[in-house]
């Protein structure tokens, strides 16, 4: 049984030595990579542990000629708790008396060992002086280990998972190593055959190895497992950034998650011109654990994260996660900027449209009123008996009518452009409206109407009359009789075609038919009364009412169509 325990202990010590050596190498590489104070003290601390573990394996236990070597080994081992204390001191301040006490205690125990002629081996009796010395070692180790354990354990509260677990596993490692020493000292001199206490001490000491490794230099797979709660926060942050449509939303989606990921007290997003875009939490220095903020330069802003002294060492990998967010934040900020500009442009456009609508309302009154007065008084002049004056008055009325039509056309086009049209749609019997317009224009004799019976359209009555009037006037002015108005149902709408038998539209002018102020040379020569807005108005009114207008090439003449929605009352 005792030999089995001995073999087990031997195996444990071999593995432990490998662990401590591996830990020393890993932490040493960390220091070579980062070259900061915390890494330096960590490298020293675990380097000492690794060196002692390896040296202890090769130092013969029974040799009396290597007393100095064993004493040196003990002295170096006794440096471990002090170095661990100095490592913890990088992260927080301590009262001066603790610094002095730690240094003096360590100096004392490291020095006194050399005054012993020999170090009692396993099974050797322990003289009183050595027992007192052992007590001093216990006090030194307990004092420093307890201090570090409590500091690291308490400091882990409220931190992201990775940082918290690293700090607390280090804390547990220090505590377990002290516990191993305590068990060993309490058990007394080692018997020739190893017993339960020695096994327990070895096991507890062994546990410290993986705990130190997980705390000081956890492998990536462990980090990934520990990081899972914060990974969810990162995914949420990425989703929030993808959905953000304003700088505010970007900041709100980014800052809380950044703070949560690395346990920051606060974070700010500042544009490169110095404007603070958003702030979260508290950016003020945090007492005795103050540390410079972590800065991350984005393309259009700077992310500043208020951390404390623990974060650069324990949260190093978590800070690296922020780069994952930074490129996404750049894209989100750019998109938000574009969205902000789009909103500003839309607001400007709306303001311009409102101004245009106000102008149309004012111009409508201010232009039409004088025209009305001109026509009205001219109308009164026609009552006179003088023939010449009557002719002059008739001319005034004719020209005033022309002016009135131009004003009407311009105001209608302005309304179409500014979206101020507001069609008042109603169910209209197409037959009535068509015959009314034909009669108004006095073109009944030269116009054939077909297919309008029983058709009902959903349209603004004034707009429909205007469209029909414009098309009929065009047909009369630029085409040849007879003019045909043909209506039919088609795919849930009503199509009205106004066709003449004239020369039609020149092919090179077809594409410009519905443009503003577009008039073919033939139209200009035949009629001096057009503004070139008629067809543009027809299409604008048709589209505002949910329909459309178009031109159809025919073998003979020109044919214009208007499509209007129906209300459900089709041909009987």
Partner 1 sequence: MKVLVVVEDEEDMRRMIFALLTRDPRLVVTGHATTAAEAIEAAASLSPGLIVLDHFIEGPVTGLEAAPSLKQVAPAAKIILFSAHDLSSEARRSPDIDAYLQKDQPQKLLPLAQSLLGLGPIAA
Q: How far, in Å, CA of 318 to CA of 324, rounded?
A: 10
Q: Which of 114, 235, 377, 517 binds partner 1 (CB under 8 A)?
A: 377
Task: Show Cβ contacts of residue 202 under 8 Å, excluding neighbours closer than 6 positions.
Answer: 9, 12, 13, 16, 180
The region that residue 138 occupies, defined by phi over 0 for left and psi between -120 and 50 for alpha, beta otherwise, is: alpha
431-490 binders of partner 1 (CB under 8 A): 460-462
404-423 binders of partner 1 (CB under 8 A): 404, 407, 411, 422
Task: Work out whether 139 is an interface residue with partner 1 (CB under 8 A).
Answer: no
Task: Work out whether 357 is an interface residue with partner 1 (CB under 8 A).
Answer: no
Task: Work out whether 342 is an interface residue with partner 1 (CB under 8 A).
Answer: no
Task: Work out whether 397 is an interface residue with partner 1 (CB under 8 A).
Answer: yes
Task: Work out whether 364 is an interface residue with partner 1 (CB under 8 A).
Answer: yes
In contact, 151 and 174? CB cutoff 8 Å: no
Nearer to partner 1, 308 or 460 (CB): 460
Task: Work out whether 117 is an interface residue with partner 1 (CB under 8 A).
Answer: no
Strands 266-271 and 301-306: antiparallel
Tell me how far CA of residue 156 lies from CA of 191, 311, 325, in angstroms.
Answer: 41, 11, 25
In contact, 488 and 563? CB cutoff 8 Å: no
Task: Work out whether 383 is an interface residue with partner 1 (CB under 8 A).
Answer: yes
Nearer to partner 1, 402 or 501 (CB): 402
Task: Work out whether 372 is an interface residue with partner 1 (CB under 8 A).
Answer: yes
CB of 397 to partner 1, least distance (A): 7
Task: Work out whether 320 is an interface residue with partner 1 (CB under 8 A).
Answer: no
Q: Which of 327, 369, 395, 427 binds partner 1 (CB under 8 A)?
A: 369
Q: Which of 365, 388, 568, 572 binds partner 1 (CB under 8 A)?
A: 365
Task: Work out whether 235 is an interface residue with partner 1 (CB under 8 A).
Answer: no
Q: How far, in Å, CA of 273 to CA of 396, rounded?
A: 65
Q: How far, in Å, CA of 571 to CA of 473, rounded?
A: 27
CB of 495 to partner 1, least distance (A): 25
Task: Work out whether 114 is an interface residue with partner 1 (CB under 8 A).
Answer: no
Q: How far, in Å, CA of 78 to CA of 563, rounded?
A: 97
In contact, 216 and 170? CB cutoff 8 Å: yes
Task: Work out whether 375 is an interface residue with partner 1 (CB under 8 A).
Answer: yes
Task: Work out whether 42 is an interface residue with partner 1 (CB under 8 A).
Answer: no
Phi, psi (deg, nearest 5) at residue 282: -120, 120
Indicate the helix (H) or strand (E) that contains 483: strand 483-490
Residue 384, burial from CB neighbour count under 10 angstroms (0-12, 13-18, 19+) = exposed
Nearer to partner 1, 205 or 397 (CB): 397
Nearer to partner 1, 79 or 538 (CB): 538
Task: Work out whether 172 is an interface residue with partner 1 (CB under 8 A).
Answer: no
Nearer to partner 1, 56 or 461 (CB): 461
Nearer to partner 1, 132 or 373 (CB): 373
Task: Work out whether 380 is an interface residue with partner 1 (CB under 8 A).
Answer: yes
CB of 415 to partner 1, least distance (A): 9
Q: Which string of DSSP letters, residue by residue, matches 446-478?
A: GEEEES-TT-EEEE-HHHHHHHHHHHHHHHHHH
Nearer to partner 1, 154 or 529 (CB): 529
What is the 3 state secondary structure string of 339-391? HHHHHHHHHHHHHHHHHHHHHHHHHHHHHHHHHHHHHHHHHHHCCCCCHHHHH
188-227 binders of partner 1 (CB under 8 A): none
Task: Work out whether 371 is an interface residue with partner 1 (CB under 8 A).
Answer: yes
CA 242 to the chain's CA centroid? 5
Task: Work out whether 361 is an interface residue with partner 1 (CB under 8 A).
Answer: yes
CB of 324 to partner 1, least distance (A): 59
Binding positions for partner 1, rule: CB under 8 A: 361, 364-365, 368-369, 371-373, 375-377, 379-380, 383, 397, 400, 404, 407, 411, 422, 424, 460-462
């Amino acid at each position: 049984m005792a030999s089995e325990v001995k073999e087990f202990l031997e195996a444990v010590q071999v593995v432990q030595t490998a662990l401590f050596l591996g830990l020393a190498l890993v932490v040493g590489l960390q220091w070579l990579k980062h070259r900061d104070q915390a890494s330096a003290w960590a490298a020293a601390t675990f380097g000492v542990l690794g060196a002692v573990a390896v040296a202890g394996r090769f130092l013969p236990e029974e040799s009396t000629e290597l007393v100095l070597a064993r004493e040196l080994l003990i002295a170096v081992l006794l440096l471990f708790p002090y170095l661990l204390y100095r490592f913890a001191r990088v992260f927080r301040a301590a009262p001066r008396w603790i610094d002095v006490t730690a240094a003096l205690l360590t100096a004392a125990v490291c020095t006194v060992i050399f005054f012993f002629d020999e170090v009692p081996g396993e099974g050797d009796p322990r003289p009183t002086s050595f027992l007192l010395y052992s007590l001093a070692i216990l006090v030194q180790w307990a004092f420093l280990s307890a201090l570090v354990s409590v500091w690291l354990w308490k400091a882990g509260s409220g931190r992201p998972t990775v940082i918290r677990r690293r700090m607390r596993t280090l804390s547990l490692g220090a505590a377990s190593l002290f516990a191993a020493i305590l068990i060993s000292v309490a058990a007394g001199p080692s018997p020739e055959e190893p017993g339960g206490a020695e096994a327990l001490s070895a096991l507890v000491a062994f546990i410290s190895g993986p705990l130190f490794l997980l705390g000081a230099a956890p492998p990536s797979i462990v980090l990934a497992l520990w990081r899972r709660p914060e990974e969810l926060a990162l995914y949420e942050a990425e989703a929030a950034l993808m959905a953000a449509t304003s700088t505010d939303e970007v900041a709100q989606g980014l800052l809380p998650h950044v703070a949560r990921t690395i346990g920051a007290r606060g974070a700010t997003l500042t544009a490169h011109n110095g404007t603070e875009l958003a702030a979260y939490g508290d950016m003020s220095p945090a007492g005795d654990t103050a540390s410079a903020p972590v800065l991350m330069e984005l393309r259009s802003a700077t992310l500043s994260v208020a951390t404390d002294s623990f974060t650069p060492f324990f949260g190093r990998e978590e800070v690296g996660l922020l780069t994952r967010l930074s490129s996404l934040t750049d894209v989100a900020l750019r998109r938000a900027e574009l969205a902000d500009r789009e909103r500003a442009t839309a607001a400007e456009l709306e303001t311009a449209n409102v101004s245009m609508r106000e102008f149309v309302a004012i111009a409508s009154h201010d232009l039409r009123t004088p025209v009305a007065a001109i026509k009205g008084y001219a109308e009164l002049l026609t009552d006179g008996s003088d023939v010449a004056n009557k002719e002059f008055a008739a001319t005034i009325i004719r020209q005033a009518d022309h002016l009135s039509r131009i004003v009407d056309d311009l105001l209608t086009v302005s309304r179409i452009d500014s979206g101020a049209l507001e069609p008042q749609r109603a169910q209209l019997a197409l037959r009535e409206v068509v015959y009314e317009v034909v009669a108004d224009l006095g073109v009944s004799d030269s116009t054939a109407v077909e297919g309008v019976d029983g058709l009902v359209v959903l349209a603004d009555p004034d707009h429909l009359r205007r469209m029909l009037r414009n098309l009929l006037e065009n047909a009369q002015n630029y085409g040849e009789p007879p003019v045909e108005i043909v209506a039919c149902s088609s795919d849930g709408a009503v199509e009205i075609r106004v066709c003449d038998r004239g020369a039609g539209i020149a092919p090179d002018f077809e594409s410009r038919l519905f443009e503003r102020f577009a008039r073919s040379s033939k139209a200009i020569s035949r009629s001096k009364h057009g503004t070139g807005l008629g067809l543009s108005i027809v299409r604008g009114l048709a589209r505002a009412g949910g329909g459309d207008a178009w031109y159809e090439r025919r073998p003979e003449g020109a044919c214009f169509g208007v499509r209007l929605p129906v209300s459900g009352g089709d041909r009987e």
